[in-house]
Amino acid sequence: MGLRVPFVTAVVGALLVAGATTGTTYASWVDQAPLHQSGVGSAAMSLGASDAPASTLLAPGAITTVPVTVTDTSSGAAKNLVQRVTATASAPTGVTVALTRDTGSGCPGSAFTSRDTQPGGSFVLCVRLTAAATASSGTVQVVLTGRQVQGSVVQGWTTSRTVSLPVAVVPNAPVLSCQGSTLSWTATGSTYRVQARDNGSEAWEPFTNTSETSARATGIGIYGSRQFRVVAVTGGVESDPSNAVRINRLILSYSCEVL
C-alpha cells in the first residue's frame, strides 16, 4: 500500500509527458509527388561486309574486280551515330589492289577514300586486283575501319572489320618446244600436266604429270605420230594449254614440229 501511490503517480506523469510531447511533434501537413524513373542506354558501332567469294582467279595482266558490300551494322536506335569508313588492303606478292567506289551502276568508280554511313546504310566497295606474271596466290585482305563522326569532328568510337579475299593466280600457258622425242616447256607453274592425242583425234588424254619442265614422248608406233601439249598447274589452278607439237617416229629416230 505504501508503494502503490508513488507508482500510480509516476505512470500518470509519464503518460502526461508523452502526450504533451506527441502533441508538439506530430502536427504538420505532408504531400509527395515522384520524380519518375528515367534512364538511358547506349548503342554499339560496328561494320559488316558481304561474304567474299571462296576464291578469285587472277589471270596475269588482267584486271579482276570483286565488289564488296559494306553495311553499317550499328544499333538502329543510335539516333546520332555517324561513322566514317576508310579501307586499306594488303595482297600477296605480285598482286596489286586498288580500292574504288561504286559508280552506282557497278564497279569501278573513282578511288575510294572514305564514306560516311549511318546505322543500316550500305555501299559497295570495289576491290580491283591485278596480278603480275610472277604473282603468287594467297589472300587479299581489306581492312575496313569505322570512326565515329561527331558533327564534323572525327572522335569517339572506332570499329574495324577485315574482309578476306582468297585469290588464285592463273599460271601463264607454257610455251612448248621439242627436239627429237623430247618435249620441253617454259616454267610457269608448280606442276605440269602433259596431254597427248593421236593424229586425227579430237580428244586430249592425260600423258603424264610432272614437276619438271621436260618429258620424253613415248608410246608412238613405228611411222606413227602423236601430238602433245602441256598445262601448267599452280595451287590447283590450271593455265590455258600450251601450243601443241607433233612428234613423228620413223623406226628409231624421231622428229618433231611445233604446231
Partner 1 sequence: MNKMIKGSLAGATGVALLMGGFGTYALWSDSENLQVNGVQSGELDIATSAGTYDDANTATANDWTSTDKMVPGDKVTYTQTFTVKATGKNMKGNVVYTKPNLSNTFAGLANSVVITSDNANVVESQTTPGTFTFTSPFGTATLKAVVTYTLPSGTANQADQNKAATLPAAAFTITQG
Residue 82, helix vs strand vs coil: coil
Which residues have C-beta within 8 Å of that of residue 258, sequence separation ≥ 6?
Answer: 176, 177, 178, 243, 245
The minimum distance between CB 81 and partner 1, in angstroms, equals: 5
Query: Please, which residue, 38 or 110, has the CB nearer to partner 1?
Result: 38
Residue type, 22: T
**What is the residue whose three cell numbers read 555517324?**
82
**Selected binder of partner 1 within 24, 32, 152, 253 (CB under 8 A):** 32
Binding-site size for partner 1 (CB under 8 A) equals: 33
Q: CA 126, 127, 128: angle at the middle one, nearest 5?
A: 110
Task: Give CB contacts under 8 A, 24+ apart, made by 104-108.
Answer: 106/67, 107/65, 107/67, 108/65
Q: Which of residues 113-152 bind partner 1 (CB under 8 A)?
A: 148, 150-151
d(CA 185, CA 176) in angstroms, rounded, equals: 4
Neighbours of 177 (CB within 10 A): 16
29 counts as binding partner 1 under rule CB under 8 A: yes
73 counts as binding partner 1 under rule CB under 8 A: no
47 counts as binding partner 1 under rule CB under 8 A: no
Query: Please, which residue, 26 or 223, has the CB nearer to partner 1?
Result: 26
**Selected binder of partner 1 within 6, 36, 202, 223 (CB under 8 A):** 36
And the C-alpha cell for 256?
A: 618433231
30 counts as binding partner 1 under rule CB under 8 A: yes
The minimum distance between CB 146 and partner 1, in angstroms, equals: 11
7 counts as binding partner 1 under rule CB under 8 A: no
9 counts as binding partner 1 under rule CB under 8 A: no
155 counts as binding partner 1 under rule CB under 8 A: yes
User: Using CB under 8 A as the criterion, which residues of the chain lie in contact with partner 1 when the complex forms?
Assistant: 28-45, 75, 77-81, 148, 150-151, 153, 155-159
